[in-house]
Structure 1
Amino acid sequence: MTLVQMQPRPVHAHAHADLVHRTVNDAMEAPGPQVCDDMTVEVALAVMAGSRTDHLLVCDEDGLCIGLVTQPQLTALRRSAVYTDQLRVRDVLGDRGPFTSPMTAMAEAEHAMRYRKLTALPVVDEHGTALGVLALALAR
C-alpha cells in the first residue's frame, strides 16, 4: 500500500497555489479489496492476509460502501472476550462512516484523519459508491 505523507516541500509561488487546491481525488488510492458486511471477522482477516492489505472497504447488500475495517481493529477484536467465530464485520462497524468526498481539500481531509487518528478513509461518491481510499501516515 502506498502511504501519502503530507510534508512541506520548497515550491515556487505558482506551484504553491496548486498544493493549496489539491483534493482527495489527487491523492486517493484504488479502492482495493471490498467485502460484504455479513462476512465473518475470520474470513475478513483471511481476505486481508491474502491481499496483503491492512484494511478492507465494507459494503452493504446493495454494494454501497458503509465503512472500513483495519487489520489491527479486527485482530484486537479477535483477542477480546466478546469474540466468537460467528461475529460479522457489520457488528464491528457500528454506524456508517466516516467517509470523504473526492472533492474534499487534502488539508481538510488530513486534519480530520489526524484528529480521529485514522490511517485510512473511504472515498465515496454522492451515492455511496466506493471510489478509493485515502491513506495517510499518522505523525508519531
Structure 2
Amino acid sequence: MTLVQMQPRPVIANPVHRTVAEVMDAAGPQVCDDMSVEVALSVMAAARTGRLVVCDQDGQCTGLVTQTELAAVRDSSAYTDRVRLRDILGEHGSFTSLVTTMAEAEHAMRSGRLGALPVVDEHGSALGILALSR
C-alpha cells in the first residue's frame, strides 16, 4: 500500500456571497464624456477593445459605451460630428460598487440587458469592469 499525500481543497467562497471585487476585469481605457463618437471609435481600435469607460470632467464614471453602440450611432441618419459620448450614454449610466454581491450585480445586468458594467469606488472613480459570461 502506498501513502498518498492529500492537499486540502481551498475554501471557495459561496457564489451568492462573492463580491464584484473578486471577479471584475481591469477598467481599460477611460475617456471623457465630451469626446466625439469618431474619436472614441479610433481610441477603441488603437486599444483593441470593444468598450470604453466614460468619465465626466471631474473623473467620475458616467457609464460605458461599446463599439457596437458607437457604430450604430455613427451609421444612423441623425449622426453628425457634433455628437458626444455624453449625448448617447442614456441607460448606460449604470455602474456597481466593489461590495455588491455577484448575485445582485448579475440580476441588475440581466434585467437591464447590460453586457458589462463599470465598477466604481466610493468616490465614483472607475476601478474595473464586470462583464457577463456569454
Asked if Structure 1 and Structure 2 have the same fold, meaning a TM-score greater than 0.5 normalized by the shorter chain, the answer is yes
Structure 1 Cα separation of the partners of residues 116 and 90 of structure 2: 17
Corresponding residue to 1:31 among 27, 32, 35: 27
Structure 2 Cα separation of the partners of residues 51 and 126 of structure 1: 27
Indicate the residue corresponding to 1:56 in structure 2: 52
Post-superposition offset of 1:55: 0.7
Runs of 4+ in 1 over 4 A off after TM superposition: none
Structure 2 Cα separation of the partners of residues 46 and 96 of structure 1: 20
- Total equivalences in the alignment: 125
Structure 1 Cα separation of the partners of residues 66 and 56 of structure 2: 17
Structure 2 Cα separation of the partners of residues 105 and 50 of structure 1: 33
Post-superposition offset of 1:21: 1.5
Amino acid at match of 1:49: A
Amino acid at match of 2:46: G
- 1:63-87 Cα offsets, whole Å, 9 max, x none, are 1111111111111111111101221
TM-score by length of 2: 0.86
SS at match of 2:14: helix
Corresponding residue to 1:116 among 112, 116, 123: 112
Cα gap change, 1:58 to 1:80, in 2 (>3 Å): same
Amino acid at match of 1:94: G
**Runs (5+) with no aligned partner, structure 2:** 1-8
Indicate the residue corresponding to 1:47 in structure 2: 43
Structure 2 Cα separation of the partners of residues 107 and 67 of structure 1: 21
Post-superposition offset of 1:96: 7.1
TM-score by length of 1: 0.83
RMSD: 1.7
Determine if the alignment matches structure 1 residue 125 to structure 2 residue 116: no
